[in-house]
Amino acid sequence: MDMTGKTVLITGASRGIGAEAARVFAAAGANVALLARSGDSLAELATEIGDRAVALPCDVSSWGEMSGAVSACVDRFGGLDVLINNAGVIDPISHLASADPEQWAKAIDINLKGVFYGMRAAVPVMAAAGGGSILTISSGAAHKPTEGWSAYNASKAGVAMLTRCIDGENRADGIRAIGLSPGTVATQMQREIKDSGVNPVSQLDWSVHIPPEWPARCLLWMCGPEADEYLGDEISLRDEGIRRKVGLIT
């Protein structure tokens, strides 16, 4: 997939899936705008990638910061072709009846409101330019309750619906909205899940988790026409057919 001349904005880009996506898209020729709260890590990644990367420290749970980051991206690169809503947190891992209300609300602010803010800032820019792709990291947790994950379950279910809403309202403007459910990925989030000891996911052996490069490569594939049949829907990287299409397995 040749992304030369295209601009991609990635939230949660300081590590995990976001950082790997930055590398994969940059290798495909794209300009990459890197967003996360961790300024130092972003700067290191931007330096690694080179002139086609810009680090934009940003708290996605703030509308002002998110809209400002999109504007800064457009000012730097002249447009925005792909938004990857990747930033997310698993905490608080707690039974609903004993969850800390402020932590629970903060998870919603990041995981759900942060995705809305990204979409809200990006869609007018993309629509005015004739279209673009909005790719959002979803989860199996969007569709099945998991012990101790009420904030994560609720936020990811909301994110899945936002993808459907954008598709219904803006497909005619050239907006391609697709979700990606990657399965369990070997990232810091899985370490936090492991440490919690809550629910069967925490008991999984580390060897079963896929590398973050896999969802990153799938996100690149999702920018192409072969993924158009999934517009407004969600792709599962657990699906062996998808893994073959992406070139992850033979």
CATH of the domain at 89: 3.40.50.720
Distances (CA, A) of 119 to 146, 180, 196: 27, 16, 32
Tens of pLDDT, residues 133-171: 999 999 999 999 999 999 999 999 999 999 999 999 999
Tens of pLDDT, residues 168-209: 999 999 999 999 999 888 888 888 998 998 898 898 888 888
The total domain count for the chain is 1
For 240, the token pair is 């062996």
Q: Decide if pLDDT at 69 tops 90.
A: yes
Q: How far is it, in rounded angstroms, from Cα 211 to Cα 213?
A: 5
Whether 63 is covered by a domain: the verdict is yes
Whether 215 is covered by a domain: the verdict is yes
Buried b (16+ CB within 10 A) or exposed e, 6-40: bbbbbbbbbbbbbbbbbbbbbebebbbbbbbbeee
Query: Looking at 12-139, which runs of residues are DSSP E strands?
Result: 31-36, 53-57, 82-85, 132-137
Q: Residue 228 sits in which domain range? A: 7-246
| Residues in contact with 149: Cβ distance below 8 Å, sequence separation at least 6, in sequence order | 90, 93, 141, 199
Tens of pLDDT, residues 91-112: 999 999 999 999 999 999 999 9
Whether 128 is covered by a domain: the verdict is yes
Whether 217 is covered by a domain: the verdict is yes
For 105, the token pair is 């609300």
Whether 68 is covered by a domain: the verdict is yes
Q: How far is it, in rounded angstroms, from Cα 188 to Cα 152?
A: 15
User: Which residues are catalytic, by number?
Assistant: 152
Cα 9 to chain centroid, rounded: 10
| Cβ-based neighbour number of residue 249 at 10 Å | 11
Give this prediction's pTM.
0.94
Whether 2 is covered by a domain: the verdict is no
